[in-house]
Structure 1
Amino acid sequence: MIPRLKKKIRQKELMTALQSNPFLTDEDLAQVFFVSIQTIRLDRMELGIPELRERIKTVAEEKLDPLKSLSADEVIGELVDLQLNENATSIFEVKEEHVFSRTHVARGHYIFAQANSLAVAVVDAEVVLTGAARVRYVKPVMLGEKLVAKAVVRSRDKDQTKVKVETRVAGELVFSGIFRVFKASNLHKAEGGRP
């Protein structure tokens, strides 16, 4: 049997865990500390720590540059951090409509779409298109899990940007990809060209 931490120690470690990763759910924390979800909720209330949705909103208000290449509703998942040409983070909750009905495993194109939209969103340009992607699905994602995708700009050369995206569930890597995206500044200039 795993020994439980005393309340004061658990609460101190809970605060530390949420400072390093504010996107941890009550369920994640209950597993980490080997206590019930209700115990975690009570700890949060005593410590004045808001629930996940409020923490996400607070982080987003502090860390969002203005989105240029997409509108907010075109980003798959909830954008919680955006530093243009540097990095970005989004959270996507896997719901019933995102999984195969028999196995409850998330469909791969949703995981890809979250990563791809984040790779496009991080680039400081009006029009950004994906040119190529090399991706790896590491582990299946299940119904109800929260995907936290983080995009980091690796290099920029003229109109091309190389972006690495890693997606995790409860801190564990489930997907990674390298995206080559391009600024398309002259996209609207071909008025009388071919249909």
Structure 2
Amino acid sequence: MTRHHKQERHQALQDEIVKNPFSTDEELAKRFSVSVSTIRLDRTDLGIPELRERTRAVAHEAYGTLKSLEEQELIGLLTELRIGKLGRSEMLIEENMVLDKARVARGHHLFAQANSLAIALVDNEMAVTGSVDLKFLRPAHLGETVIAEGKVLKRKGNKYWVDITAQVDQEDVLVGHWILFGFDEEISL
């Protein structure tokens, strides 16, 4: 490959990793029609760390901005969070999450991922779910990674309207519309 093509690939590789920092070397190799070894060499040349380090860095940055819940209360791996705007989390469907016979994720795991992401988007010290209009569109199977993306549509006072879409391989698994309430002091009963 000529130097010119290599430079173009390097630029495209950098752009792709900025857009999707969780791309594996195998996925990148397929996307750029080169070998996995070439991608690894390109990453080394560009100073781009391997997937595990990129994931750790992105997650650390996202968790540092959490406001309305504690890190251990979030279901899934938070990969992006801009409070009051948008967020993203990933969750691998593991053995303890699936129905024994069907081998698909129990609905409450998918809901928990989406609900905790919605709460994380609220720009208050505490948040509670007011209502949810939710549809499950297809099962998530053992071993699949569910990517939930959320967006704050509107805020009026302490009330937030949030849309969450969860996908596996760009196919919708769950879509929902949340109304949440944020508070900056303890809720008295």
For structure 1, the 5+ residue unaligned runs are 1-7, 191-195
Alignment of 1:38-187 (within 5 A): 40=36, 42-48=37-43, 49-63=48-62, 66-185=65-184, 187=186
125 and 177 in structure 1: CA distance in 2 versus 1, 3 angstrom threshold: same
Q: 1:73 is paired with a residue of what secondary structure?
A: helix
Partner of 1:3: none
Q: Which amino acid aligns with 1:99?
A: V
Partner of 1:23: 22
State the distance in 2 between where 1:171 and 1:15 align.
22
145 and 31 in structure 1: CA distance in 2 versus 1, 3 angstrom threshold: farther
For structure 2, the 5+ residue unaligned runs are 1-5
Q: How many percent identity over aligned positions?
A: 37
State the distance in 2 between where 1:26 and 1:145 align.
18
Report the count of equivalent residues. Answer: 179
Runs of 4+ in 1 over 4 A off after TM superposition: 11-17, 25-35, 61-65
The answer to whether the 8 Å contact 1:28/1:170 transfers is: no
TM-score by length of 1: 0.77
TM-score by length of 2: 0.79
Give the CA deviation at 1:26: 5.7
Give the CA deviation at 1:87: 0.8
Give the CA deviation at 1:147: 1.1
167 and 30 in structure 1: CA distance in 2 versus 1, 3 angstrom threshold: farther
State the distance in 1 between where 2:33 and 2:173 align.
23
CA RMSD between the two structures: 2.8
The answer to whether the 8 Å contact 1:57/1:80 transfers is: no
Give the CA deviation at 1:127: 1.5
The answer to whether the 8 Å contact 2:25/2:39 transfers is: no
